[in-house]
């Protein structure tokens, strides 16, 4: 309606025809539709079935902060989109190319969106995802050439700011719900080359997400119309500076869809909200195991101050752990937080503890990573550090040297776990007097597999540590015999 009115208005004043788009911005979008096939054919495209194979990468799980991300090989990728009903579903089969010490879910992955219901298949069940996930999935519907063109042509969207960047024609597309996208159109072919949007990531803050469309080729004709569409066979997605997925695909526009309504158990559920629980177990005098959710912490008391090993999982969890620490020891300051390794699930609370002025202890390999994490912009969601900016105070463990905190009565030693295939510079903490070892991911009793148990055992032996009790960041109180048996199982039967 709006464009028609605008066109009438212009033509009555200037006597120009109504054949073209109302603005140069919309003209670019309409030209892109013509390059894909025709404006009419794109408008008539109500569904897409995109199938192929590729790779998905595990963000925040690289072996060192600068290393490439580990990835899954993906087969049977099938993305079905129903634009009119705002529904999509993705199914893919993933094979990991890396070892993991944490629980791994099934090979087949199914998740999707139905209106404002985002859902994830978990075995026989489907769970409803949090609202933040649903908002992200709504945007994902438009990270393909047809989707972004349809959104730009939608009367409720605003298309503005035509410009040229590196040989590309660029416009901003604002959807009615306030979500912004940037559409890049190739200067030579007139085809969409990239869609970009911004998003919030708890560890990285404000991030750009961009999907590149490459290797365009003609697809089959549309049902009813004989127009063939020219669509990409390669999709590559980056989040911030990280490659997160790449697919080789073929596309069936207006192809038949499965029933994409959200399964009943997800539809009837409220959006999931993480429940933060912190349970306390005093394992030795002045040593508390702070458990709950999937990632635990350990509090160690010294004469003058307190030390926390690990601030994991999320800001909410870390805030709850810090509150519990204050309840347990209201008169003693918490001074140090030991970070075992940089993986996002183990470093999610680092910005939180920095906002409270605590000193972070980690391996020297992580120094620039944490400097970056602390400096990053968090404006889309203001986290604790954005609300209360503080400088990073960091102390690092050098190479394989021992880092020690002691007051003469109690000693806490921090060692690097050497040759750990999971992560370079991953640390373990040891209380020699109490014979307690604290470690993350090297041995998780809840995990079905323990591929790094042998490496941990070797490190304990090489260091000559006398361990009675293991406090894992994942799992529960364990002992050296458990670790030894896990190492034997991982090694397989002797021949
Ligand atoms: Zn890890």
**Distance from residue 442's CA to the centre of ligand 1 (Å):** 8
Structural domain includes residue 18:
no
Return the CATH number at 91: 2.50.20.10
**Distance from residue 314's CA to the centre of ligand 1 (Å):** 15
Q: In terms of residue numbers, what domain contains 229?
A: 24-267
DSSP state letter for 322: H
Question: 332: burial class by Cβ within 10 Å (0-12, 13-18, 19+)?
Answer: middle
pLDDT the model gives residue 490: 79
- DSSP for 223-255, written as a single string: SS--PEEEEEEEEEEEETTEEEEEEEEEEEET-
Structural domain includes residue 262:
yes
C-alpha 73/C-alpha 414 separation (Å) is 36
Residues contacting residue 405 through CB under 8 Å, at least 6 positions apart: 302, 307, 336, 411, 412, 414
CA distances (Å), origin 272, targets 103, 129, 145, 392, 474: 20, 6, 32, 33, 22
**Distance from residue 252's CA to the centre of ligand 1 (Å):** 39
Structural domain includes residue 34:
yes
Residues 101 and 200 in one domain: yes
pTM over 0.75: yes
pLDDT the model gives residue 106: 59
Structural domain includes residue 7:
no
**Distance from residue 494's CA to the centre of ligand 1 (Å):** 29
C-alpha 347/C-alpha 88 separation (Å) is 32
Last residue in a domain, options 219, 244, 267 = 267
pLDDT the model gives residue 101: 58
Structural domain includes residue 4:
no
Residues 469 and 368 in one domain: yes
Last residue in a domain, options 219, 239, 267 = 267
pLDDT the model gives residue 96: 87
**Distance from residue 347's CA to the centre of ligand 1 (Å):** 10
**Distance from residue 61's CA to the centre of ligand 1 (Å):** 6
**Distance from residue 346's CA to the centre of ligand 1 (Å):** 7
Structural domain includes residue 2:
no
**Distance from residue 146's CA to the centre of ligand 1 (Å):** 38
Residues 287 and 188 in one domain: no
**Distance from residue 341's CA to the centre of ligand 1 (Å):** 7
pLDDT the model gives residue 222: 55
**Distance from residue 414's CA to the centre of ligand 1 (Å):** 17
* Tokens coding 488: 């034997």
Q: Show the beta-strand stretches assigned E in 140-227.
A: 158-165, 168-174, 180-186, 192-201, 205-221
**Distance from residue 429's CA to the centre of ligand 1 (Å):** 15
pLDDT the model gives residue 19: 54
**Distance from residue 208's CA to the centre of ligand 1 (Å):** 25
**Distance from residue 441's CA to the centre of ligand 1 (Å):** 5
Contact 142/158 with Cβ under 8 angstroms?
no
Residues 228 and 295 in one domain: no
- What total number of domains does the chain contain? 2
**Distance from residue 97's CA to the centre of ligand 1 (Å):** 15
The strand pair at 359-363 and 393-397 is best described as parallel
pLDDT the model gives residue 439: 98
Structural domain includes residue 175:
yes
**Distance from residue 348's CA to the centre of ligand 1 (Å):** 12
Last residue in a domain, options 211, 245, 267 = 267
Residues 357 and 403 in one domain: yes
Residues 289 and 423 in one domain: yes
Q: What is the mean pLDDT of each run of 10 residues along the chain (495 residues)?
A: 41 44 95 97 96 97 94 96 97 88 70 97 91 95 98 98 96 97 97 97 98 94 69 98 97 94 93 91 98 96 98 97 98 98 98 98 98 98 98 98 96 97 96 98 86 95 98 96 91 59
Residues 250 and 114 in one domain: yes
Contact 403/413 with Cβ under 8 angstroms?
yes
pLDDT the model gives residue 397: 98
Return the CATH number at 481: 3.60.15.10
**Distance from residue 217's CA to the centre of ligand 1 (Å):** 41
Residues 229 and 317 in one domain: no
C-alpha 482/C-alpha 488 separation (Å) is 10
Q: Which of 171, 153, 152, 151 is nearest to 161 (CA)?
A: 171
Residues 316 and 416 in one domain: yes
Residues 182 and 288 in one domain: no
Residues 403 and 477 in one domain: yes
Residues 449 and 368 in one domain: yes
Structural domain includes residue 198:
yes
């Amino acid at each position: 309606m709006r464009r028609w009115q605008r066109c009438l208005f212009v033509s009555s004043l200037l006597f120009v025809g109504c054949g073209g788009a109302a603005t140069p911005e919309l003209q670019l979008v309409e030209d892109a539709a013509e390059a894909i096939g025709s404006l009419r054919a794109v408008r008539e495209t109500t569904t897409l079935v995109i199938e192929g194979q590729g790779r998905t990468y595990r963000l925040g799980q690289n072996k060192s902060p600068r290393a490439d991300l580990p990835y899954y090989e993906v087969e049977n990728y099938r993305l079905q989109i129903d634009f009119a009903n705002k529904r999509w579903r993705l199914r893919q089969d993933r094979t990991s190319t890396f070892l993991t010490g944490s629980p791994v879910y099934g090979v087949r992955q199914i998740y999707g969106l139905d209106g404002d219901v985002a859902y994830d298949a978990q075995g026989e069940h489907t769970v409803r995802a949090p609202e933040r996930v649903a908002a992200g999935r709504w945007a994902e519907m438009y990270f393909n050439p047809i989707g972004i063109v349809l959104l730009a042509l939608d009367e409720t969207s605003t298309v503005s700011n035509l410009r040229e960047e590196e040989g590309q024609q660029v416009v901003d597309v604002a959807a009615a719900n306030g979500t912004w996208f940037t559409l890049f159109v190739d200067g030579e072919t007139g085809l969409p080359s990239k869609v970009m949007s911004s998003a919030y990531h708890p560890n990285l803050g404000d991030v750009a997400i961009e999907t590149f469309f490459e290797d365009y080729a003609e697809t089959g004709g549309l049902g009813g119309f004989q127009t063939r569409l020219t669509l990409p066979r390669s999709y590559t997605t980056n989040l911030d500076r990280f490659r997160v997925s790449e697919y080789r695909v073929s596309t069936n526009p207006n192809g038949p869809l499965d029933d994409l309504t959200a399964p009943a158990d997800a539809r009837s559920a409220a959006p999931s909200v993480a429940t933060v629980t912190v349970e306390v177990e005093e394992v030795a005098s002045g040593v508390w195991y702070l458990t709950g959710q999937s990632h635990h912490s350990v509090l160690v008391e010294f004469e003058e101050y307190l030390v926390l090993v690990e601030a994991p999982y999320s800001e909410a969890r870390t805030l709850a752990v810090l509150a519990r620490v204050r309840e347990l020891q209201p008169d003693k300051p918490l001074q140090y937080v030991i970070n075992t390794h940089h993986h996002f699930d183990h470093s999610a609370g680092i910005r939180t503890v920095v906002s409270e002025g605590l000193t972070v202890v980690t391996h020297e390999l992580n120094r620039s990573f944490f400097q970056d994490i602390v400096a990053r912009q968090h404006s889309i969601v203001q986290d604790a550090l954005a609300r209360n900016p503080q400088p990073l105070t960091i102390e690092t463990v050098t190479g394989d040297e021992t880092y020690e905190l002691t007051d003469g009565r109690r000693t806490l030693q921090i060692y690097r776990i050497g040759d750990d295939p999971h992560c370079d510079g991953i640390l373990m903490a040891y209380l020699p007097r109490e014979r307690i070892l604290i470690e993350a991911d090297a041995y998780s009793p809840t995990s079905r597999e323990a591929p790094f148990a042998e490496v941990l055992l070797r490190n304990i032996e090489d260091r000559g540590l006398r361990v009675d009790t293991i406090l894992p960041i994942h799992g529960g109180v364990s002992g050296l015999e458990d670790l030894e048996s896990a190492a034997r199982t991982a090694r397989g039967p002797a021949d």
